[in-house]
Amino acid sequence: MTHSSAPEIQALFNRIAPVYDELNQQLSWGLHTVWKKMAVQWAEAAPGHQALDICCGSGDIALLLARAVGKTGSVTGVDFAPAQLAIAAERGQARYPDHNLTWQAGDALDLPCPDAHFDCATMGYGLRNVTDIPQALRELERVLKPSAKAAILDFHRPTQPWVQQFQAWYLDRVVVPTAEQFDLKADYAYIGPTVDRFPQGPEQIELARQAGFAQAQHYPLLGGMMGILVVQKAAANSVV
């Protein structure tokens, strides 16, 4: 199966923007909020930090980062779907009107951000959808400050057969029918193929090291159906 093109993916996320949050809530039985909080914690976002959320969508993780970095910090949310960014900006203004939040249209493969700029970063459900995973990881490494951490949350293909069977059932009997209620059946059918071709945890660790990260660890969640890749940039005085 061929990969979707960037314009196709962009159009998809613009299309589903109005119901994206409600669908995520239903499809994860509310657990997506827990996973996103874990990502922020593993990225070690702290008061005063300049934080980045790549593929920020409607702003869920970016707003969690805003709470973590506080009024003395800043959060930049980058996404290539304008409809998602518009919702994120509206939610940000409503929830944190006095925080430093910036929403930027941009591509994860060519981030509109300076080198070595961010103290921490997150990426939720984005790496699986980019057309060039190694390039996305190189860009993430480029924009982080030395020793900074990033956490990448996404769906995964489980290794245990019974979990694989459950995931297949879940995608076929829960995800697609739920999306159908929102008239988005065809749009959400894309998840299965993207999970099938997404690199497993050990492969992600190797890709992160090839991208220049000094450290990388992968944490499976929900029986391996979800996972968080935690990466750390090399210290300023070290050679990778």
pLDDT digits (tens, 9 = 90+) for 7-29: 665 565 555 555 556 555 555 55
pTM: 0.82
Q: Which two tokens stand for residue 17?
A: 């923007």
Domains parsed from the chain with CATH numbers: 6-232 (3.40.50.150)
Q: Are 66 and 53 in contact (CB under 8 A)?
A: no
Give percent above pLDDT 90 in the chain: 55
pLDDT digits (tens, 9 = 90+) for 72-122: 999 999 998 898 899 999 999 999 999 999 999 999 999 999 999 999 999
Whether the pLDDT of residue 161 is over 90: the answer is no
Q: Rounded to an integer, what is the distance from CA 104 to the centroid of its chain?
A: 15
Mean pLDDT is highest, among 1-5, 29-33, 189-193, 235-239, for: 235-239
pLDDT digits (tens, 9 = 90+) for 139-157: 999 999 999 999 999 887 7
Helix (H) or strand (E) holding 54: strand 50-54
DSSP state of 224: G
